[in-house]
Structure 1
Amino acid sequence: MSNQRLPTVKIRESKPFQCKFELRGTDASVANALRRVMIAEVPTIAIDLVEIEVNSSVLHDEFIAHRLGLIPLTSDRAMTMRSPRDCDACDGDGACDYCSVEIFLRAANRTGDRHILDVTSRDLISPDPSVQPVDFSPELDNQQEDKGITIVKLRPGQELRLRAIARKGTGKDHAKWSPAATVTFVQEPEIHINEEMMEKLSLEEKKELAKSCPTRTFGVDEDTGRFLVVDPEAYNYDDGVLKKCEDWDLPGLIEIRPKLDSFIFTVETTGAIKPHQLVLNALDILKQKLDDLRLPQRADTTTVLGVRS
């Protein structure tokens, strides 16, 4: 097909909780669809049901249950895990090993002094090694230790015992299942400088023009006096430098246009899924959605042709 596109994805930077990648050879509709799938349709595992056995803390049961649900759990096997509503092993009750994981919490402050006990996500006990509270140690300095996400503080004599059930879900069901903290994309800018017009400006005018862009996209070489594009991807379409050209009555000195088929994504996750795996899972889900949209249309076409013949 003459209008067929072959999008490409290239990972630029990968960190424990953040990654950057390029998406080229497609348009904004596909880029936005990929972004929305990463936020709302990639499944993760989160605490969904909580049974409180003992709670003598200052927080109500519902408050603690809400906090537990928002604690990110490692969800590497969420894509292959059964959904509670589709599980035939437990008839949708969500209480079997195929679609749920039991997590326990046993904490009590037995000290006799005024010591306050912090109950954190590190106190959650999961028998499944693949479903554990997220460890944020890679984001901390070597001298720091991840103490976990605080759930409640217990005074001497207070106790908290509970049983929780973690299930598979997506961000469409509840925000606690969303693996993405932030997903943004920008169109890569295409910057053209009229060198003939630029040579007519003085060194001070070039510096002033470069400073008019708050993101430091432009700069001036002190030795040669040449106006340079230092970091084109830092440009955020604020139009500050273009307005400066208009104020000086120099239209066409700098032209900036977005590339309609090139996007730069920044993905930050909650830790439930690694950033690069989130991108790959989202691509698989988007591909499946497109296949589901395409295959029924083929069947309808075949039926119509059969009737006409």
Structure 2
Amino acid sequence: MEGRFPPSNPWAPLTAEELEARKVVNVNAETVTNTAATDIPGHWGPEQDDSWNLGRFRDNLRIDFHQNKPHDAAFSLVGVDASIANAFRRILIAEIPTLAIEEVFMFNNTSIIQDEVLAHRLGLIPLTGGEKGLKWLRSFRKPPPKDDFAAQAAHNDDGEPSTASDFNTVVLGLKVECRWATEALDGRDGKKLAKEGETDPNVRYVNSNVYARDFKFMPQGQQETQFAGEDAIKPVNPDILIAKLRPGQKIELQCHCIKGVGMDHAKFSPVATASYRLLPQINITSPILGAEAKKFARCFPKGVIGLEPSDESDPNSEPKAVVKDPMKDTVSRECLRHDEFKGKVKLGRVRDHFIFSVESTGQLRSDELFLDSVRLLKAKAERFKKHLSELEEGR
């Protein structure tokens, strides 16, 4: 069958080459083959042991970090099934609790932005604070919608909804008023008096722009010790523009921030993006030399294919194409369009090598987010195992 790699003898264990071939998804000129998983027990015959084994899994599992910045991490997760990798991705996006603005109490808004639009903009501003305090803060249990009777029944079984307290709610205040710069007495507001005929609003007015830095953290109860000093709750980026004002316009409001999850609203998602791709594989089956080697290198992104002397003893010999860094490849299949490379190269992707990219919104570190996703998946598995045990006991 096309795309399968049957062993030379169905009754004998697979060779190293056959085992390696099973791990590759073949990328052809117009098709993709060998996409189905073949590690199902009995797929290759009774003599081939494909049952899941903890020791084998432990030996094959590997995590290699390629980049580990606070807001941007890239790493390879090797030796797991696609379902596990996708579970981590979905948990990263939708199930790790984070702090965000949930309720906005408008006291005065004379700007041109409507209250509901302004509240929506505020909710999407990512917040940050002390890591210890954010972990101390509890999640907020919101009541279900009144028209969702099934959710209400489930909610009643789980417990009562939360009430606002210093353990689950953070308060931020915003009070900004725009004035003419000439009204600033002796530059008391840090603005020089505007000259007559000045047209630049940043010079002509005071507080013409409302930024995220204008938020004031209002600690409640024990929050004064949990979020003291540099650990205070604040926007990740202080330069986020919230609104533009003109003289006489003002915004005065108060925000209540709670911990929620991304499945409820995107503002609670801790990542700007969390994605993965399979490691590209480029296998040069026949030597590609001279001008063809240079053309072959141009078929790939820069850095994927390198040129080396075809004769190691003679540095001046004609160049030979070698695979330098397959991780940079985008698998465009450009080289398969040219007749001179047919039969000389095979493209594929390694099915159990996932290259993850996790970009944090700033509240939590990217590497810590992945560890949180592992903890959550482990807790889900333990809860599922507990339910299975309860079902068996109830029989």
TM-score by length of 1: 0.84
2:97 to 26, 37, 43: 43
Moved over 6 A (4+): none
1:134 to 212, 224, 235: 235
Structure 2 residue 126 is the aligned partner of structure 1 residue 72: yes
List per-residue Cα deviations over 1:40-97 (Å, max 9, x = no partner): 111110000000111111111111111110000116355553222179xxx6354211
1:81 to 133, 137, 143: 137
Does the Cα contact within 8 Å between 2:142 and 2:162 map onto a contact in 1?
A: no
Structure 2 residue 299 is the aligned partner of structure 1 residue 212: yes
1:92 to 136, 152, 161: 161
Q: RMSD between aligned alpha carbons? A: 2.3
List per-residue Cα deviations over 1:101-124 (Å, max 9, x = no partner): 111111112335541521111111
Q: In the aligned structure 2, how far is the partner of 1:297 from the partner of 1:21?
A: 34
Residue 242 (structure 1) shift: 3.1
Alignment of 1:25-174 (within 5 A): 25-74=79-128, 76=131, 77-85=133-141, 92=161, 94-113=163-182, 114-115=204-205, 117-126=208-217, 127=219, 128=223, 129=227, 130=231, 132-136=233-237, 147-174=238-265
Structure 2 residue 286 is the aligned partner of structure 1 residue 232: no
SS at match of 1:10: strand
**Alpha-carbon distance change, 215 to 184 in structure 1, aligned in 2, over 3 angstroms:** farther
Does the Cα contact within 8 Å between 2:296 and 2:321 map onto a contact in 1?
A: no
SS at match of 2:63: strand
Tell me the equivalent position of 2:6. Answer: none
Does the Cα contact within 8 Å between 1:43 and 1:78 map onto a contact in 2?
A: no
Q: Which runs of 5+ in 2 are unaligned?
A: 1-50, 144-159, 183-203, 310-314
Structure 2 residue 113 is the aligned partner of structure 1 residue 12: no
| Identity score, percent | 33
Q: In the aligned structure 2, how far is the partner of 1:59 from the partner of 1:275?
A: 34
Does the Cα contact within 8 Å between 1:121 and 1:148 map onto a contact in 2?
A: yes
2:351 to 234, 237, 260: 260
Tell me the equivalent position of 1:141. Answer: none
SS at match of 1:66: helix
Between Structure 1 and Structure 2, whose CA radius of gyration is higher? 2
2:77 to 17, 23, 33: 23
Q: Which runs of 5+ in 1 are unaligned?
A: 137-146, 305-309
TM-score by length of 2: 0.66
Does the Cα contact within 8 Å between 2:289 and 2:320 map onto a contact in 1?
A: no
List per-residue Cα deviations over 1:185-225 (Å, max 9, x = no partner): 1112333222xx31xx4410111112122455213236551
Does the Cα contact within 8 Å between 1:212 and 1:240 map onto a contact in 2?
A: yes
Provide the aligned length of Structure 1 versus Structure 2.
Answer: 284
Does the Cα contact within 8 Å between 2:236 and 2:363 map onto a contact in 1?
A: no
